């Protein structure tokens, strides 16, 4: 309890300082929304930086992309009630007719290997998605505009990569292949845009679908939607 109180006080102090500075300097980023009375405006950029550190310094590709990160993401739907009470969400339903890019007629391992080759990394900082029929995502991938540097420089680079393309993968309804959905949005790993990402500001479904369709166009195992 004492630790939690100290963290809360510290975050509020930082938020107050940022809010005061905002009266002097306007950053034209999501940091301008920081409000000491709205904890989510404080937590969003903090979580973004922590997520950027995790993305760059992840403990090995196999562990981070498979066991650890997937297990963490699988818990998000169970935190929805708590998240709602604090002004944000951890899961939501997407419309496949709006976000579907196509289907992958191959194994999930092959699809994920292809996404890695195209610069995607497993997306930890994203709400858990499901379809209207109850199917839940089985994989979530993010491209911030190509690979980033390693080490601390990579964490800093992610702060200026303010847009991302987000792919969510589901099993097809007939269990034949995998449904690939996508959208383009503000980056979740940048403190400059994390709050906007959380609120869905500047989310572009068609642009995301177009980007992913072009990226996978030369893959014989990918079948685009009509």
Show Cβ contacts of residue 92 under 8 Å, excluding neighbours closer than 6 positions: 127, 129, 130
Give the domain ranges of the chain: 2-224
Show Cβ contacts of residue 210 under 8 Å, excluding neighbours closer than 6 positions: none
Give CA–CA dist 156/151, Å, rounded: 9
69 CB neighbour count, 10 Å cutoff: 19
For the cut 70, the answer to whether the pLDDT of residue 29 exceeds it is yes
pLDDT digits (tens, 9 = 90+) for 120-143: 988 888 888 999 999 999 999 999
Mean pLDDT over all residues of the chain? 84
For residues 13-34, one letter each, b for 16 or more C-beta atoms within 10 angstroms of the residue's C-beta and e for the rest, the string is: eebeebbeeeeeeeeebbbebb
The predicted pLDDT at position 129 comes to 93
pLDDT digits (tens, 9 = 90+) for 45-80: 999 999 999 888 876 555 455 567 777 777 776 766
């Amino acid at each position: 309890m004492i630790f939690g109180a100290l963290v809360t006080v510290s975050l509020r102090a930082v938020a107050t300082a940022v809010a005061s500075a905002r009266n002097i300097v306007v950053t034209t980023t999501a940091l301008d929304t920081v409000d000491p009375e709205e904890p989510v405006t404080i937590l969003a950029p903090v979580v973004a930086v922590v997520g950027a550190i995790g993305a760059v310094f992840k403990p090995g590709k196999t562990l981070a992309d498979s066991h650890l990160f997937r297990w963490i993401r699988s818990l998000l739907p169970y935190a929805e009630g708590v998240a709602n009470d604090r002004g944000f969400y951890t899961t939501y339903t997407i419309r496949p007719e709006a976000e579907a890019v196509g289907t992958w007629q191959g194994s999930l391992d092959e699809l994920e290997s292809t996404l890695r080759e195209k610069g995607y990394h497993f997306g930890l900082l994203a709400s858990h998605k499901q379809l209207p029929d109850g199917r839940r995502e089985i994989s979530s991938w993010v491209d911030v505009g190509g690979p980033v540097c390693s080490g601390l420089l990579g964490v800093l680079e992610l702060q200026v990569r303010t847009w991302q393309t987000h792919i969510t993968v589901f099993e097809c309804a007939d269990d034949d292949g995998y449904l690939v959905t996508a959208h383009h949005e503000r980056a979740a790993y940048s403190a400059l845009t994390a709050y906007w990402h959380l609120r869905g500001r500047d989310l572009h479904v068609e642009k995301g679908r177009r980007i992913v369709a072009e990226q996978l166009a030369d893959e014989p195992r990918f079948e685009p939607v009509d």
